[in-house]
Amino acid sequence: MWFVGVPRSGWVKPISDRRLSDVVSVGLLTKVFPPDVVDAVIAECGRTEQRSRTLTARVTAYFSIGMALNADGSYEDVFAQLTDGLSWSSGWSQFWRPPTKSAIFQARSRLGPEPLQALFRRVAQPVAAADTPGSWLAGRRMVAIDGTCLDLADTPANADYFGRPGSSRGEQSAFPQARLVAVAECGTHVLFDAALGPCTVSERELANDLLDRLEAGMLLLADRGFYGFDMWTRAAATGADLLWRVKSSLSPDHLETLDDGSWLARIIPTSGTQRKRRTPLTVRVIDYTLEDGRDNPEQYRLLTTILDSAEAPAHDLALAYAQRWEIENTFDELKTHQRGPRTVLRSKSPPLVAQEIWGHLCCHYAIRTLMVDAARAGPHDPDRVSFVAALRITRRSLSHSSFSPSQP
């Protein structure tokens, strides 16, 4: 899948003018993130090297993704894994030595976070087919938005930029934290859009960066923390449909009760001096109780832009909303299994923290696309394919497909 071996001690290569970047093999990564696309985003971000280097921007970009597969390994370990697929039969003109930790750090610093962010946003996209289970409702692709926080290396630079979350007792977290808000395809766990920021920035603020990239044909699921009249209006203006949980205390103006028990209503802003002058929006409200054996079962109130009860009955919408939990499972894959439980991100400066997180997102996307391909061949539900097993296979598998930075 990717990675191929560091030379044995005493190995002398045949004479050649090919460099390290000419023969690095990263099978899975180069399949999902082709070299020409990597080169293009590097150029667009102004990170193309002005002089010849062993650690080119392209190699460093793949290294930044490869770190996500070996979160506990040193720079040298990760690089050894990354270059484990070198085609030594091609040879080089001089004896090759693995780069030092300092050289790798300098290469990461030169690259910065922007190319990894641009690479993720260019390549990542929903991948569910028309028959992928758990992916569709009334012809709409179900996607969910949510946020999480990631523990960072405890350095003054990270603490100053990202901040530390506080507790109800006034204490601060042991580590600075970055906040990640992402959009996932419910049926495949593919994360296809994301925004990063300090933990002091709310999920709703970061979500604003994502709403404009929604598309018609999507059904966006969100929990109570995201609702606001302005956010709802902005998300609906993209053409995507919405299915959001709101607080039960929100009381839209009743218009009409439908045959399935849901009801049409008008919403207006709940605050602001000019709120009554804003144009009301018509929504559909679904109220239900989740019977889970507790004395006080939880009450749910959902708002949706799908107004036709015949197209999407209330029962179907309530079941669909349960798919929102798939993004919680996706964050667990990213934080617990891929990064490792209780593992703090290694980068000690804010730009490299961002680069590392975008690398994790790229890596997760690559693994999830592999899982979707495997599920289709099964055929299986991609949600039921083991992420842990796929991650293990990705880490262990070897590939012998090399690429050249000078060729498309």
Instruction: Output the DSSP codes for 139-180.
Output: TEEEEEEEEEEEEB---HHHHHHH---B-TTS-B-SS-EEEE
Alpha-carbon span 187 to 185, nearest angstrom: 6
What pLDDT sits at residue 115?
98
Antiparallel, parallel or unpaired: β 140-151 and 177-185: antiparallel
What does the DSSP 8-state code read for residue 16? -
Q: Where are the domains of the chain?
A: 1-123+378-408, 126-330
Amino acid identity for residue 17 in this structure: D
pLDDT, tens digit (0-9, with 9 covering 90-100), for 118-159: 999 999 999 999 999 999 999 999 999 999 999 999 999 999
Alpha-carbon span 354 to 364, nearest angstrom: 15
Tokens of 319: 């079941």
Cα 235 to chain centroid, rounded: 19
387: nearest Cα among 194, 193, 191, 189: 189
Phi, psi angles (nearest 5°) of residue 4: -145, 165
Residues in the chain: 408
Amino acid identity for residue 275 in this structure: R
Token look-up 């439908």 returns 258
Average pLDDT over residues 313-319: 96
Q: How sure is the predictor about 53, in pLDDT bands with cuts at 50, 70 and 90?
A: confident
pLDDT at 93 over 70: no
Instruction: Output the DSSP codes for 67-125.
Output: GGG-TTS-HHHHHHHHTTT--TTT--SS---PPPHHHHHHHHHHH-SHHHHHHHHHH--
Residue 300's H or E segment, with its range, is strand 298-304
pLDDT, tens digit (0-9, with 9 covering 90-100), for 172-186: 778 999 999 999 999
Alpha-carbon span 139 to 311, nearest angstrom: 10
Phi, psi angles (nearest 5°) of residue 402: -100, 165
Average pLDDT over residues 199-209: 94
Are the CB atoms for 183 and 238 separated by under 8 Å?
A: no
Most confident segment among 53-67, 170-184, 242-256: 242-256
Cis peptide before 379 (omega within 30 of 0): yes
Token look-up 């580590």 returns 175
Mean pLDDT computed over every residue of the chain: 84
Query: Cα angle vertex 111, ends 110, 112, to 5°?
Result: 95
Q: How sure is the predictor about 100, in pLDDT bands with cuts at 50, 70 and 90?
A: confident
pLDDT, tens digit (0-9, with 9 covering 90-100), for 4-18: 333 333 333 333 333
pLDDT at 403 over 50: no
Token look-up 């930044």 returns 64
Are the CB atoms for 128 and 168 separated by under 8 Å?
A: no
Alpha-carbon span 37 to 41, nearest angstrom: 6
242: nearest Cα among 254, 256, 226: 226
Query: Cα angle vertex 178, ends 172, 181, to 5°?
Result: 125
Q: Alpha-carbon Rg of the chain, whole angstroms?
A: 24
Query: How much of the chain is in helix, strand and coil states, percent to nearest 5?
Result: 40, 20, 45
Tokens of 355: 């680069």
384: nearest Cα among 132, 182, 130: 132
20: nearest Cα among 65, 52, 64, 66: 52
pLDDT at 260 over 60: yes
Alpha-carbon span 60 to 355, nearest angstrom: 11
Antiparallel, parallel or unpaired: β 218-222 and 241-246: parallel
242: nearest Cα among 201, 183, 192: 183
pLDDT, tens digit (0-9, with 9 covering 90-100), for 277-308: 778 999 999 999 987 777 788 899 999 999 99
